Each structure stands twice: as C-alpha cells, then as structure tokens.
C-alpha cells in the first residue's frame, strides 16, 4: 500500500452499462470499483464508460471508446495484428464480423443517446481527468481497471491497446483479500482463490513461458508452472482441511451457547458494532474488506448464559465465486448461528442492492432460514426524513449508530430478549457429590433462585430447551 511519502499510481476505471442496468446502478458500481481501487493503493483520475448490448468479445469496449481510453494512457488504441499468433480463416472472419457489429452498435448508441449522454461520451481527456481529480494530471495513468471479469485474451488485448497494466474487478478483489489476510486460515483461503484466478491467465505469458525446462523435457515453462500451481493447491486444501477440522471442533464445543453473527456488505460497520457490543479491540477501518477473519467474542456486559457475537467477512457485488467457496468455513459461523444481524449502511443510496447481495450469498450457503434482524447502521449520517423513510419501508428494523451508546444498549437488549423468548424454566437438583460441576449450569443457563435441602442444591433456572435437556440428563440421580 502506498503511504503519504509515495505518490499513488494513477488509474482509469472502465465500465460497460449493459441492458437492464440503470444509470444509478451503473454509477454505484463504478463508485464502488473506485473504492476498491483506492483500497488497493491507486488514485482514480478518470473514468471511461460505454453503453452496449454486450461486452465486445476482444477488447470489452468498442473501437471508438478503446481509442479514447488509449488517449488517456498513451497507448496505440488498437491490438497489434498477429499479436495473438496465427488465426484460422473462420476466426478472422468471425472477428471481422464482430468488429463490424461493434461499429454498428456504437453508431446506433450515438444516434439514440440524448444530448447529455452524447456530450458525456465525447468528453476529451482534460475534462475526464478534471471530473475524477481536482488536480491536473502531470503524468499518464499506468493502470486500467475494468468493472467486469475479463477473459485472458481480453486482458491481454487491452494491455496491448492501452500500454497500461490492466486489472479486472475479480483481480482487484482477490488482491485486496491477499493483502488483508491475517490468520493462517485466511491466507490459505485467499491463496487458493488467487491461484485459481491466475492459472488460466498464464497462457498469455510471452517470451520465457515457451522455453523448455531442460533437455528432453516435453513441457513448456507455463505448463510446468501450472503443474506447480496444481501441486500447491492440493497442499493448501490439505492444510486448510486440517485447520477447518479444528474449527469444527471449536464450533461443536460452542453448540450449547447462544450465538449471534453479524453479516452484511463490506464497510457497512460490522466491526464497529462488534467492538461496541463486546468491547473487543477488533480492527475498524474505513475501507473495503478490512476484516477477513472471523472474530468471536462474548456480549458485554456478560450475560448468563453467555451470548457470543461473531464478525464475518463482508460481501460485495460480483463477489468472485472462488472466494465464496474458499471462505465457506468462515461463513459457516453464519450458518450455525442462532441469530443473524443483517448490518446495512442506511446512509448508502444503494443499500437495497447491498442487502440483496448479502441475502443472495447467505442463500447460497443455506443460511436463509436462520432467524434474523435487520439493522440500519450509520444513523448519525441520516436526516430525520431518511430515518423515517427506512422505518416506513422496514418497520421491524432497528436504525442505529455503532457510535451511539444508547443505540448499542438497545441492540444488546434486543439480542437478550430474542433468546429469552425461546427459553424454558425448570428446577435442577445438584447432589452434594456433584457440586464440582455447578459451573456447567452457570455456563449454559440463567440461575433464578437457589435453595438447599438434604438432597443437594436446588436451582430454578432458565435456558434454551436443548441446553435444559442436557443439564437435566447430566444431573439425573
């Protein structure tokens, strides 16, 4: 990551607005991509956007927009002929037809666009730079970030046309995860996703990738590298399985405890709520994917029985499937929780789409049936009218700020009342010969009263039905 003494490399964002995507959604996607790029350590100085029916198969953008992008980066604006090696006549004919279709689409879009959109599409380099940065550009951007997942050939073609380093959205997210991973488990999970992302893109390597590794070897360097990746993936999965087995044991040991999981979009304020509810010193940062490791802490002030709160990795639009799969064990905290708290940034104009992303990922892991409550966080940034609008749309939700003690206290009481509604009362008799196990009762139940007689200690307790059944069996005479 860059610091104050090192200038951030300059970057250009590229987005294609496909049919069915509104102007607001498209703008929100690009704004989010800008935050991702900033988190990665780059400075966004311009944005190139185009409306199309589909991504251009070779270069994502049509030829006109590609030339505009290349003007910003100092590239040629075209893919050098023969750059991809020999092509069949059928391939050449298909690419020629695709190029003609691209030009037709651009002409049609220009004809149908209104005056404002047309003016926006024709903004010269200086105006584009001024929109994204208050300071005039003293150097050309060296990085292009595309708000779509690119095929290896699209990525290579864009680099040849722009003369810049090109990332797609998936690559940016994977790189952020790679930088933010702290625990051994998270590092292994991210490396698996990263290798799965990089492996198919190795075929675009040039030069040394085709050198033979030793006399008589039938494998090129890229083939050997792929083999190394397969071996490393097998090693990582084996190590991760051992770690996850240990975590399964820990989760099993916590099966009788009351468990709450904070889930939601990245940067919605989950870690701030975690710190407020538990008093733990978890990392709180105003950046995307600051938290990748699941943290489990007890609700404070501590209750009897204890309530455990877990903070989980945040979600995002177009989250790479490999990352969802890699973090499956982390997301199991949500699957096995007694209560899910959906944390939403109520001040974000796209909160509805963000909430749907969270619900979609949780459906994917089978956690949609877990009881839940909706929390609109960052209420300190809301006007009274905006707060009222949220409550009218979701009257069952809580609108709060993680930085307001009264709001946090109200949330804590909500959590306690949720579990109270499920609890049952019973009387336990603890024989004097088993007093050493009295801690089990206080760990899993709330003791309402106690008395002593000739048989032992009599406790009136409240607990969840499953915990009560286990305690009853444990102290049966």
Alpha-carbon distance of 267 to 83, in angstroms, equals 42
Binding-site entries: 264-271, 289-293, 311-314, 377-380, 401-403
Alpha-carbon distance of 203 to 187, in angstroms, equals 25
HSE, CB side, 13 Å, CA atoms: give it for residue 356: 6
Q: Look-up: residue for tokens 């990795």?
A: 313
Q: Which of 430, 425, 416, 461 is nearest to 443 (CA)?
A: 461
All residues at 6 or more sequence positions from 15 whose CB lies less than 8 Å from its CB, including other chains? 26, 29, 30, 33, 47, 48, 49, 50, 146, 147, 148
Both tokens of residue 65? 């927009």
Report residue 339: phi and psi, to 5°: -150, 135
State the Cα angle at 26 between 22 and 32, rounded to 5°: 145
All residues at 6 or more sequence positions from 160 whose CB lies less than 8 Å from its CB, including other chains? 75, 76, 79, 80, 83
Alpha-carbon distance of 358 to 355, in angstroms, equals 5
Query: Cβ-count burial of 384 within 10 angstroms (0-12 exposed, 13-18 middle, 19+ buried)?
Result: exposed
Alpha-carbon distance of 137 to 10, in angstroms, equals 9
**Hey, is 59 helix, strand or coil?**
coil
* 461 DSSP β-pair partners: 426, 447
Binding-site entries for Mg(2+): 271, 291
Helix (H) or strand (E) holding 461: strand 456-463
Q: Quick check: 139 and 97 in contact, CB under 8 A?
A: no
HSE, CB side, 13 Å, CA atoms: give it for residue 70: 20
Q: Would you tell me how many other CB atoms lie within 10 Å of the CB of residue 113? A: 14
Q: Look-up: residue for tokens 């298909």?
A: 94
Q: Is the peptide bond before 305 cis (omega within 30 degrees of 0)?
A: yes
Query: Cβ-count burial of 465 within 10 angstroms (0-12 exposed, 13-18 middle, 19+ buried)?
Result: exposed
Alpha-carbon distance of 93 to 193, in angstroms, equals 36
Alpha-carbon distance of 52 to 16, in angstroms, equals 6
Binding-site entries for GTP: 264-271, 289-293, 311-314, 377-380, 401-403
């Amino acid at each position: 990551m860059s610091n104050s003494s090192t200038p951030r490399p300059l970057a250009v964002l590229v987005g294609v607005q496909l049919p069915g995507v509104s102007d607001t959604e498209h703008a929100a996607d690009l704004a989010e991509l800008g935050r991702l790029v900033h988190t990665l350590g780059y400075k966004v100085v311009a944005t190139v956007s185009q409306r199309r029916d589909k991504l251009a198969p070779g270069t994502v953008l049509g030829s006109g927009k590609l030339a505009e992008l290349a003007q910003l980066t100092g590239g040629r604006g075209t893919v050098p002929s023969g750059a991809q090696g020999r092509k069949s006549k059928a391939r050449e004919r298909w690419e020629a037809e695709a190029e003609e279709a691209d030009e037709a689409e651009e002409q049609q879009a220009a004809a149908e666009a209104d005056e404002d959109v047309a003016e926006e599409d024709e903004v010269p380099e200086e105006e584009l730079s001024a929109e994204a940065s208050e300071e005039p550009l003293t150097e050309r951007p060296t990085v292009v970030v595309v708000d779509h997942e690119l095929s290896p050939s699209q990525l290579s073609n864009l680099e040849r046309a722009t003369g810049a380093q090109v990332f797609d959205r998936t690559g940016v997210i994977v790189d952020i995860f790679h930088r933010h991973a702290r625990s051994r488990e998270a590092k292994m999970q991210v490396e698996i996703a990263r290798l799965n992302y990089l492996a198919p893109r190795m075929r675009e390597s040039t030069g040394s990738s085709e050198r033979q590794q030793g006399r008589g070897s039938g494998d090129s360097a890229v083939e050997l590298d792929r083999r190394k990746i397969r071996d490393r993936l097998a090693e990582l999965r084996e190590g991760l399985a051992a770690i996850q087995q240990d975590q399964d044991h820990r989760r099993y040991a916590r099966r009788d405890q009351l468990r709450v999981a904070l889930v939601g979009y990245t940067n919605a304020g989950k870690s701030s709520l975690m710190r407020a509810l538990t008093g733990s010193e978890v990392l709180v940062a105003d950046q995307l994917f600051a938290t990748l490791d699941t943290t489990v802490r007890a609700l404070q002030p501590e209750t009897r029985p204890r309530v455990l709160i877990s903070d989980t990795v945040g979600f995002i639009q177009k989250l790479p499937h490999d990352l969802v799969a890699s973090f499956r064990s982390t997301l199991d905290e949500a699957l096995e929780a007694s209560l899910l708290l959906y944390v939403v940034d109520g001040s974000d104009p796209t909160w509805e789409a963000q909430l749907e992303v969270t619900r979609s990922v949780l459906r994917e892991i089978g956690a949609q049936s877990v009881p839940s409550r909706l929390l609109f966080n960052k209420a300190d940034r809301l006007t009274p009218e905006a707060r009222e609008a949220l409550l009218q749309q979701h009257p069952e939700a809580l609108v709060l700020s993680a930085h307001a003690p009264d709001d946090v206290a109200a949330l804590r009481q909500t959590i306690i009342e949720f579990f109270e509604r499920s609890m049952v009362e019973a009387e336990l008799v603890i024989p004097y010969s088993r007093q050493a196990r009295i801690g089990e009762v206080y760990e899993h139940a709330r003791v309402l009263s106690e008395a002593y007689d000739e048989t032992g200690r009599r406790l009136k307790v409240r607990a969840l039905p499953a915990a009560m059944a286990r305690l009853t069996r444990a102290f049966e005479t």
